[in-house]
Amino acid sequence: MNQSAMTVTSLNTKIKSLLETTFMHIMVEGEIASVTYHNSGHVYFSIKDQESSIKCVMFRSNASRLKFRLEQGQHIVVQGSVSVYTPRGEYQFYAVNIEPYGQGALALAYEQLKKKLQEKGYFDPSHKKPKPKIIRKIALVTASKSAALQDMLKIIQKRWRLLEVIVIDTLVQGERAVSQIAEALKYADSLGVDAIVVGRGGGSQEDLWAFNEEIVADAIYQLDTFVVSAVGHEVDVLISDFVADLRAPTPSAAMEMILPDHQEVLYTLSELEERYARVIQQIIANKSIQLKSLAQEMQRNSIMNRMGMVEKAFERLTEEFKRTMHYKMTQFETQIKPLSEQLKGSFDQSLRLKEHQLDTLAQKIKLYDPKLKQKAGWAEVTRKGQHTTLNQIEVEDRFVLVDIDTKLEVQCLKKDRL
């Protein structure tokens, strides 16, 4: 054979060149048969129809812009080109963009994240915090130069000026907005405010998409402060609306929903003032009646009144006592004379008896008088306070002699026995 043979590499290279020039920027429709998310960020998958399948790859740079997650069984439209992996001679579809068939990528991503967060309990009513009864300090997480911020500030000025407002500037649109919103929410939560409002004005689905990202949903769910999601218009329902404690259809509506109207408060205070005035007047009237009744009762039960009553009672008792005593004295007068005579007879008899007893005692006294008993020349002998006899006295003993009217302290000079 004169024709020279091609190498395998040469053949694969020619096929690759042919495929790349023939199948550039094409779209292929099919069902995902398998999918693998690699740690490198690349996504490997295959799509199929009823008769065949083809391997596909989406490199990290394109996969990072993918709004929804590829799942087996999804019907998708893949945009890209066909090429050959030269070392193995395998051809595959290199995807640069993927859209759900008959449905936008953002819509599918929205439904996927909504389902995921609902299963995690992010939308559970029991987790939602109640609106504070009084809001003194509020944080507004939005773009500082946005019309939405100005609308909110106007409502604050109109409804409730007694409010400290902290504006936390952040991007609300674009790829960088997602992380900035999450960080701004965490910062607002650390300021000790009573409420946080996060949001922006209206826009397309792509413009509002930052509030449909899982990072923002996580940040809202983890807040300790009451948070309101106020994104877009009333028809726009975002993932942040489901996770937040309260959803407001617009930023302006958020202020009207959580702040009191000072006119209504003044009207309520006026009504309360009138009501309390009526109540106080009624209380004063009732207390006046009670006070008058108590004064009358106090007058009846006063000390002076009681003393007067006691004095009158004493006078009555005195008169009654006098009448009683007069009556008793009249009764006893008839008994006094016989009693007096009887008393006199008893007294005379007792007096004679006592005089007789006195005479008897006088005789006994004379009979037993020591002076009458003492013989002349005799004396009582004591030594050291003890009675003794002259026989017991020794020479030079000191002793005492006592007779009727004399006491001698003497010393024995000589002793003779008789």
Q: Is residue 369 predicted with pLDDT exceeding 70?
A: no
Range of the domain at 76: 8-103
25 φψ region: left (φ > 0), alpha (ψ -120 to 50), beta (else): left
Asked which of 260, 275, 299 is the last residue of a domain, the reply is 260
Q: Is residue 22 predicted with pLDDT exceeding 80?
A: no
**Residue 280: its pLDDT value, please?**
92
**Residue 297: its pLDDT value, please?**
83
**255 and 138 in one domain?**
yes
Percent of the chain with pLDDT over 90: 38
**More reliable by pLDDT, 41 or 348:** 41
**156 and 91 in one domain?**
no
What order do you get walking across the sheet with 246-247 strand by strand?
A: 164-169, 137-142, 195-200, 226-231, 246-247
pLDDT digits (tens, 9 = 90+) for 244-276: 999 999 999 999 999 998 888 888 888 888 899
**187 and 97 in one domain?**
no
The vertex-34 CA angle with 33 and 35, nearest 5°, equals 140
**Residue 370: its pLDDT value, please?**
58
Asked which of 103, 118, 148 is the last residue of a domain, the reply is 103
**181 and 72 in one domain?**
no
In a domain, 273, yes or no: no
**Residue 367: its pLDDT value, please?**
62
Collapsed DSSP state (helix, strand, coil) of residue 237: coil
Lowest mean pLDDT among 269-283, 324-338, 404-418: 324-338
Other residues' Cβ atoms within 10 Å of the Cβ of residue 137 = 13
Confidence band, pLDDT 50/70/90 cuts, at residue 211:
very high
Q: Is residue 4 predicted with pLDDT exceeding 80?
A: no
Confidence band, pLDDT 50/70/90 cuts, at residue 83:
confident
Confidence band, pLDDT 50/70/90 cuts, at residue 305:
confident
Asked which of 244, 260, 276 is the last residue of a domain, the reply is 260
Tell me the CA end-to-end span of the chain in Å, nearest whole number. Answer: 205
Tokens of 68: 């929804």
**183 and 246 in one domain?**
yes
**Residue 374: its pLDDT value, please?**
57
Number of domains in the chain: 3
Q: Is residue 333 predicted with pLDDT exceeding 80?
A: no
Those residues with Cβ within 8 angstroms of residue 56's Cβ, 6 or more apart along the chain or in another chain: 44, 45, 46, 47, 78, 80, 92, 93, 94, 95
**222 and 177 in one domain?**
yes
**More reliable by pLDDT, 374 or 360:** 360
In a domain, 96, yes or no: yes
- Residue 219 is part of a domain; what is its CATH number? 3.40.50.2300
Distance of CA 26 to the CA centre of its chain: 67
In a domain, 23, yes or no: yes
**Residue 183: its pLDDT value, please?**
96
In a domain, 85, yes or no: yes
In a domain, 36, yes or no: yes
Whole-model pTM above 0.85? no
In a domain, 233, yes or no: yes
For 23-74, what is the HEC assignment? CCCEEEEEEEEEEEECCCCCEEEEEECCCCEEEEEECHHHHCCCCCCCCCCC
Concatenated DSSP letters of 162-206 = S-EEEEEE---SSHHHHHHHHHHHHHHHTTT-SEEEEEE----TT
Parallel, antiparallel, or unpaired for β 195-200 and 226-231?
parallel
Q: Is residue 401 predicted with pLDDT exceeding 90?
A: no
Distance of CA 12 to the CA centre of its chain: 78
Average pLDDT estimate for 227-238: 91
**153 and 95 in one domain?**
no
**161 and 94 in one domain?**
no
CB distance 140 to 197 below 8 Å: yes
**145 and 248 in one domain?**
yes
Percent of the chain with pLDDT over 70: 96
**Residue 230: its pLDDT value, please?**
95
In a domain, 160, yes or no: yes
Average pLDDT estimate for 70-96: 87
**148 and 81 in one domain?**
no
Q: Is residue 196 predicted with pLDDT exceeding 90?
A: yes
**149 and 68 in one domain?**
no
**209 and 97 in one domain?**
no
Average pLDDT estimate for 274-302: 88
Distance CA 415, CA 418 (A): 10
In a domain, 354, yes or no: no
Tokens of 193: 């405010």
Average pLDDT estimate for 385-410: 85
**Residue 327: its pLDDT value, please?**
81
- Residue 90 is part of a domain; what is its CATH number? 2.40.50.140
